[in-house]
Structure formats: C-alpha cells, structure tokens
Structure 1
C-alpha cells in the first residue's frame, strides 16, 4: 500500500454504492436487493485488512460475502466461516455489477472457497 492510501469511509462507501446501484440492470438489481445487508459492516480479514480495520461487507449469499476492497478499489467475493470474518482475500477491482454476476456463477463461487 502506498503512503497516501486511506481506508474508504462509510460515507464514501454509501456514495459509491448509490452510484453503482444506479447502473445495475433490473434482474441484477433484484438479486442485489435480496442479498444486500441493511447496512454495510466492517469485517476482519487478516492480514490484508489489518491496516484499514477490515473491509466493508455489503452483501451475503450463503457462506459468501461481497465486500469492497478499498486497497484495489473494487468489489470482491469472499468466503466466511463465521460472521464478521472474511476467510480469504480477493484482489479485485470489479464493479458492483461484475462482482454480483460472478457471485451468481457457481464456478466463480467455488474458486473463492
């Protein structure tokens, strides 16, 4: 991480999500509404999430979570065994739309486990 890197704030995340939601196709938007969390939650991920106190998880589907990776500035799919802790790190600069579409593909989900 560069010396100028700062973790994304909740307000910045909400602004990004609002913009990203406006670009979703109707069917993807329906899925998003079904799996998104009522409020984004800061979850731990060691060691990559340590410096920023974790990553903002925005949706959950089964044992997978969709989180914003503010290091790479994109949405990523993670696996979790317990609520509040992302088991694996995914380096991703995907848009919300791309990440949601990956989450809906079983082969993509198996690759994150």
Structure 2
C-alpha cells in the first residue's frame, strides 16, 4: 500500500470530530489559537507530502498534523511556514491542545515527544 498525504477534507473531518470531544476549557483555547489549515515546510520528512498541515499557532509553537504517523504534534517554529522540529506522536487533536493548555498553566510540556529512530547500535544495560 502506497502512502498518500491526507487531504484537507479528511483533515477537517479529524478536526470537527476532535472539537466534539474537547472539554469546554480546551475548546475555548482551541477557538483562540486555531487557524485555517495550511501546509508548512518540514525538511526531514515533510517534503514527500508537500509539507504538513498546521492547524493552530500560539506564540512560537504550532499544532500540526503528521499524516505519515497519523497524529497531531506541537512543535516550535522560528520562521512562519517552516516547522523547526519533527515529532511523530500519534495524538488526537484534543490531546495536543490540552498539552498547550498545560504548558500555559504550568510552564511544562506534559507530553513525551516521539522522534524518528536514531541510527546506531543499541546498547543493553
């Protein structure tokens, strides 16, 4: 089976479904940070699908959909239109927005970040 990038219509289906699962507090934050989906460049893995869909911006962070791994992520950026970090979390949108709320409230990221495998020899303890 060949991978195909997610269409904007399919992405909207995921967004609308997630909005229905958001708590009132998370939904209020979501309403204030969401943007119409737009493709942003990511140099490591994003070139295959023409970039990744960014769906929210807050400060120096964005929430974006990794359609290779089928999940939402929160990453930093320096230049608008270009993701600075690649993650492969498989979170639902409401989890990613909840994490942004946790960062605002506590100053700490509450989600462990999953990156791509790093080549090299695994060493047992």
TM-score (structure 1 length as normaliser): 0.89
Count of aligned residue pairs for this structure pair: 108
1:9-40 deviation digits (Å, cap 9, x = unpaired): 11110111111111111110000000001x11
Question: Match for residue 93 of structure 2?
Answer: 96
User: What is aligned with 2:5?
Assistant: 7
Look up the match of 2:22: 24
Could you say which structure has the larger radius of gyration? Answer: 2
SS of residue matched to 1:22: helix
Aligned to 1:46: 43
- TM-score (structure 2 length as normaliser): 0.81
Q: 1:64 aligns with which of 61, 64, 68?
A: 61
- 1:108 aligns with 109
Deviation readout 1:75-111 (Å, 9 max, x if unpaired): 00111101100011011100111111112222218x8
Structure 2 segments unaligned to the other structure (5+ residues): 114-125
Task: Extract unaligned runs of 5+ from structure 1.
Answer: none
4+ residue runs over 4 A deviation: none
What corresponds to 1:85 in structure 2?
Answer: 82
Query: Over the residues paired in the alignment, what is the CA RMSD in angstroms?
Result: 1.6
